[in-house]
């Protein structure tokens, strides 16, 4: 299984629309990891959209720096999740050309980084859902309005009790 995957610009456009709150505009998506993390290029350098953490980071000033890190043992382990890719392959799962592996449930919602918790999903859908999920999770913690996960344009729902309790007592 290739650890880096390329996709059509339209797939990126649809999927990354739900990440606009994080500042992906003005950056050109070039390729992804097997798990849908996106490498974006801009005049400043190369950015890494981590769909597990829900973060966007300017990580490399040049393609040479980026590929050097991706070719290193740490890069293959930490960024490309090579060990997990191996487990997924051993389990007989191989995403099609238009798919990435998505976590279910997602680690941000209590899921695990384990081969038993992944399934192939079309890139644009995987990006769209994780972007909306991370936006809602952040909105629940900071109180800003956010549409519901499946695109409802009404007011956001109040945070569930567990989130409210965490906000009041984060050390728990």
Burial of 120 (0-12, 13-18, 19+ CB in 10 A): middle
User: CA angle, 112 as apex, 85 and 116 as ends, to 5°?
Assistant: 55
Closest CA to 91 of 65, 120, 70: 120
Provide the number of structural domains found in the chain: 1
Residue 170, in any domain of the structure: no
Residue 137, in any domain of the structure: yes
Q: What are the structure tokens assigned to 154, written together?
A: 């009404």
Statement: the pTM of the whole predicted model exceeds 0.85: no
Residue 93, in any domain of the structure: yes
Instruction: List b or e across 46-75, with b for residues whose CB sees 16 or more CB atoms inside 10 angstroms.
Output: bbbbbbbebebeeebeeeeebeebbeeeeb
Residue 156, in any domain of the structure: no
Residue 169, in any domain of the structure: no
Long-range pairs for 159-167: beta carbons < 8 A, 24 or more residues apart: 167/141
- The answer to whether 92 and 78 have CB atoms below 8 angstroms apart is no
3-state secondary structure at position 97? coil
Residue 151, in any domain of the structure: no
From first to last of its 172 residues, the chain has per-residue pLDDT tens of: 899 999 999 999 999 999 999 999 999 999 999 999 999 999 999 999 999 999 999 999 999 999 999 999 999 999 999 999 999 999 999 999 999 999 999 999 999 999 999 999 999 999 999 999 999 998 877 655 444 444 434 333 433 333 333 334 333 3
The C-alpha torsion from 25 through 31 and 33 to 35, rounded to 10°, is 60
Q: Residue 24: which domain range? A: 4-143
């Amino acid at each position: 299984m290739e650890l880096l995957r390329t996709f059509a610009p339209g797939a990126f456009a649809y999927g990354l629309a739900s990440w606009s709150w994080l500042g992906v505009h003005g950056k050109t998506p070039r390729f992804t990891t097997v798990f849908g993390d996106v490498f974006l290029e801009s005049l400043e350098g190369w950015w890494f959209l981590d769909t597990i953490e829900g973060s966007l980071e300017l990580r490399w000033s040049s393609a040479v720096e980026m590929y050097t890190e991706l070719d290193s043992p740490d890069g293959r382990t930490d960024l490309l999740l090579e060990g997990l890719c191996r487990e997924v392959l051993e389990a007989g799962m191989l995403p099609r050309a238009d798919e990435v592996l998505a976590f279910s449930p997602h680690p941000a919602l209590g899921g695990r980084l384990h081969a038993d918790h992944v399934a192939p999903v079309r890139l644009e859908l995987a990006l769209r859902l994780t972007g909306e999920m991370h936006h809602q999770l952040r909105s629940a913690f900071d109180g800003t309005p956010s549409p519901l996960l499946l695109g409802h344009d009404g007011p956001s729902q109040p945070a569930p009790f567990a989130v409210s309790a965490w906000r009041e007592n984060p050390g728990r």
